[in-house]
């Protein structure tokens, strides 16, 4: 588990042993493999990129090639303990609907995303007047897969507006945990644990 | 009792085996088949706890020679890219079985074999079969071989239909199912193409309602046309354009400069298709073609479950992996997705990948390193679990 991305590490540490998990946008299955090997989790994955799906299947994982925006409807309600969406929310066409689906399929949902209101992004936009290109958001505006940028406060507003419950929140800066206070300004990355 | 069975000293195991089982094998059509002849091959050794058996299911015109030289054509085994030493299905590790489906013509019971009631070839008196009947015959063979549970069942195209049917018919006998370029039901378009093929055979005056075995005057023209029509569905338009385009046969120069202004095979694609048709009749029986295409047309795994495919897989413990190809318009990706959807709804462990290939449906038989990697990973995952 040592090589997991920091947000995945947080999720991995907070998934209970033997749980059933759906990892939406599971990439090459790094988190799923860690959960399976470390916590005897029954993990399934959904991933858009066929190369990533192949890599995950080659690791012995159960992964389906599909799109979070369209294919989550295929999953039965309450079929897993946790639905996980890591660094994928901002790439979906309808993030609020994807979140609804996650909370329908899972009893709880882990959601991690890069915080667009981090001070470095704010400073970049303010001083340069151009769409920020940062370590976590390295693409240019025209070729970025991140079509729905979101800040931590935006996300909290959505949680309140939809009447969801937040069971946990974690914030990261430079890959290290950072405090809740001023998270919207100081955190590069957020992980939320939600419930309907 | 020896700790390990040595298959090559056991006459049940090895190349080019034939067995006649007493049966009767009850069939979906209501009839029963007895005796049941099955021609099969095995590679590798069954381990002591009989846990390494892998069944390979062949497609419409395939046969048991999955990884050995075909006795008629002399060509290498049809899936040597996937099955063999150092390949994802490896006789050094797996005990591999491939049987000719019943209804076919490479040694298993079919219209060309002898009807014990008459002492003559069955012809069209052979009972109409289903894909499930083919699977039940395979289960009969496993009983004879002393194999309770399969580590995996693998098939492409019609073989995929069998592989998909295995966990439904025998939920306790198969740990993993790998379904490649296949479907859970035949579409109207699938049935339509098969009907063209059957009509071509039946329109051949030498078909004579299937009673052509006595004088050997087989409906070769009809069968060749059937094969030509079917062969088009195995390729993609892009693949055909790349391989043949509008190029002319045995003539240099572009476009129409070398046309005969007649009905010879001017275009390379015509010549290719004619060759496919003609060479097919040397190795395949026209009546078998009728029976097997009919079995495929009747295939709809959801039908006994009120049309709800997920119900076919309820409670399954089998691991599934499905692979489709983006240019396959015979069994397009949507058909694999439908199966995946049903498996998800049934809570099954399932993986699915759509691979990219220019070769259409035929891609599953061709060199595809990505497919091999996935098959290998999927099968190996089963041995760790």
Q: How does pLDDT run across B325-369, given as a tens digit for each residue?
A: 999 999 999 999 999 999 999 999 999 999 999 999 999 999 999
pLDDT of residue B254: 45
Contact A60 B380 (CB under 8 A): yes
Residue A153 has pLDDT above 80, yes or no: yes
pLDDT of residue B3: 43
> How far is CA B236 from each of CA B156, B182, B188, B363, B367, rounded to the nearest angstrom?
17, 16, 19, 10, 16
Please check whether residue A54 is in contact with residue A108, taking contact to mean a CB–CB distance below 8 angstroms.
no
Average pLDDT (A16-37) is 96
Q: Which domains does chain B have, with CATH numbers?
A: 7-186+300-384 (3.40.50.1820), 190-292 (1.10.1740.110)
Q: How does pLDDT run across B326-336, given as a tens digit for each residue?
A: 999 999 999 99
What CATH number is given to the structural domain containing A11? 3.40.50.150
Contact A74 B355 (CB under 8 A): no
Q: Cα(A106)–Cα(A80) distance, rounded to whole angstroms?
A: 5
pLDDT of residue B253: 46
A65 contact B CB<8A? yes
Higher pLDDT, A166 or A74: A166
Chain B window 334-363: which residues touch A at a Cβ cutoff of 8 Å? 337, 340-341, 344-345, 347, 349-356
Residue A127 covered by a domain: no
Residue B121 has pLDDT above 60, yes or no: yes
Residue A95 covered by a domain: yes
Query: Structure tokens of B334?
Result: 């949507």
Residue A142 covered by a domain: no
Active site residue B3: no
Residue A70 covered by a domain: yes
Residue B5 has pLDDT above 60, yes or no: no
Number of domains in chain A: 1
Query: Structure tokens of B23?
Result: 């049966």
pLDDT band at residue B6 using 50, 70 and 90 as cut-offs: low
Reduced to 3 states, what is the DSSP secondary structure of residue B278? helix
What are the counts of helices (DSSP H) followed by strands (DSSP E) for chain B? 10, 12
Q: How does pLDDT run across B12-54, given as a tens digit for each residue?
A: 999 999 999 998 999 999 999 999 999 999 999 999 999 999 9
Query: Structure tokens of B130?
Result: 């289903």
Q: Cα(A188)–Cα(B260) distance, rounded to whole angstroms?
A: 72
pLDDT of residue B8: 60
Domain limits for position A91? 6-115+148-195
Residue B371 has pLDDT above 80, yes or no: yes
Higher pLDDT, B385 or B113: B113
Contact B376 A58 (CB under 8 A): yes
Nearest CB neighbour to A54, from listed B349, B374, B384 = B374
ipTM exceeding the 0.85 mark: yes
Q: Within 10 Å of residue B259's Cβ, how many Cβ atoms?
A: 12
pLDDT band at residue B383 using 50, 70 and 90 as cut-offs: low
Residue A184 covered by a domain: yes
Contact A50 B351 (CB under 8 A): no
Write the DSSP symbol of residue A82: E
- What is the overall mean pLDDT for chain B? 94
Residue A21 covered by a domain: yes
Q: How does pLDDT run across B242-280, given as a tens digit for each residue?
A: 999 999 987 544 455 667 888 888 899 999 999 999 999
Give A103 to chain B, closest Cα distance, Å. 17
Burial of residue A70 (number of CB atoms within 10 Å: 0-12, 13-18, 19+): exposed
pLDDT of residue B89: 98
Please check whether residue B132 is in contact with residue B298, taking contact to mean a CB–CB distance below 8 angstroms.
no
Catalytic residue from among B221, B328, B336, B362: B328
pLDDT of residue A55: 93
pLDDT of residue A134: 84
């Amino acid at each position: 588990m040592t090589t997991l991305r920091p947000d995945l590490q947080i999720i991995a540490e907070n998934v209970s042993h033997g749980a059933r998990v759906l990892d939406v946008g599971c990439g090459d299955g790094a988190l799923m493999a860690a959960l399976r090997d470390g916590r005897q989790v029954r993990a399934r994955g959904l991933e858009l990129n066929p190369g990533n799906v192949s890599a995950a299947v080659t690791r012995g994982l159960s992964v389906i090639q599909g799109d979070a925006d369209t294919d989550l409807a295929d999953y039965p309600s309450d079929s897993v303990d946790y639905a996980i969406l890591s660094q994928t929310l901002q790439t979906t066409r309808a993030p609020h609907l994807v979140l609804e689906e996650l909370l329908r399929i899972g009893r709880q949902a882990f959601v991690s995303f890069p915080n667009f209101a981090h001070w470095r992004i704010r400073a970049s936009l303010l001083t340069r007047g151009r769409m920020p290109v940062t370590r976590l958001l390295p693409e240019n505006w025209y070729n970025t897969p991140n079509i729905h940028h979101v800040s931590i406060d935006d996300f909290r507003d959505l949680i309140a507006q939809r009447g969801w419950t937040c069971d946990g929140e974690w914030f990261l800066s430079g890959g290290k945990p950072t405090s809740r206070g001023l998270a919207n300004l100081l955190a590069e990355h957020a992980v939320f644990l939600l419930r309907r | 009792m020896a700790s390990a069975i040595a298959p090559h000293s056991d006459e049940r195991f090895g190349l080019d085996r034939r067995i006649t089982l007493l049966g009767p094998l009850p069939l979906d059509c209501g009839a029963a088949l007895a005796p049941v002849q099955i021609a099969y091959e095995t590679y590798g050794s069954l381990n002591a706890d009989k846990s390494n058996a892998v069944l390979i299911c062949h497609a419409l015109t395939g046969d048991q020679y999955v990884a050995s030289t075909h006795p008629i054509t002399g060509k290498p085994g049809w899936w040597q890219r996937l099955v063999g030493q150092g390949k994802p299905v490896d006789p050094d590790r797996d005990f591999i079985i491939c049987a000719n489906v019943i209804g076919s013509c490479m040694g298993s019971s079919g219209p060309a074999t002898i009807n014990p009631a008459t002492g003559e070839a069955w012809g069209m008196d052979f009972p109409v079969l289903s894909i499930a009947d083919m699977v039940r015959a395979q289960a009969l063979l496993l009983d004879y071989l002393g194999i309770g549970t399969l580590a995996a069942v693998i098939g492409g195209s019609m073989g995929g239909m069998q592989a998909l049917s295995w966990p439904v018919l025998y939920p306790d006998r198969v740990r993993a199912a790998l379904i490649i370029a296949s479907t859970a039901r035949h579409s109207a378009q699938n049935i339509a193409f098969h009907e063209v093929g059957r009509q071509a055979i039946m329109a051949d005056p030498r078909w004579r309602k299937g009673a052509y075995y006595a004088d050997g005057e087989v409906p070769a023209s009809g069968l060749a046309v059937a094969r030509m029509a079917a062969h088009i569905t195995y390729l993609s338009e892009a693949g055909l354009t790349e391989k043949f385009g509008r190029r002319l046969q045995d003539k240099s120069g572009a476009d129409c400069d070398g046309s005969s202004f007649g009905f010879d095979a001017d275009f390379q694609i015509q010549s290719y298709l004619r060759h496919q048709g003609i060479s097919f009749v040397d190795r395949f029986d026209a009546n078998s073609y009728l029976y097997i295409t009919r079995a495929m047309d009747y295939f709809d795994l959801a039908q006994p479950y009120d049309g709800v495919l997920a119900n076919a897989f309820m409670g399954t413990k089998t691991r599934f992996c499905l692979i489709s190809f983006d240019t396959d318009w015979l069994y397009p990706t949507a058909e694999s997705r439908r199966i995946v959807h049903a498996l998800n709804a049934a809570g099954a462990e399932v993986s699915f990948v759509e691979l990219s290939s220019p070769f259409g449906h035929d891609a599953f038989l061709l060199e595809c390193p990505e497919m091999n990697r996935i098959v290998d990973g999927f099968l190996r995952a089963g041995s760790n679990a």
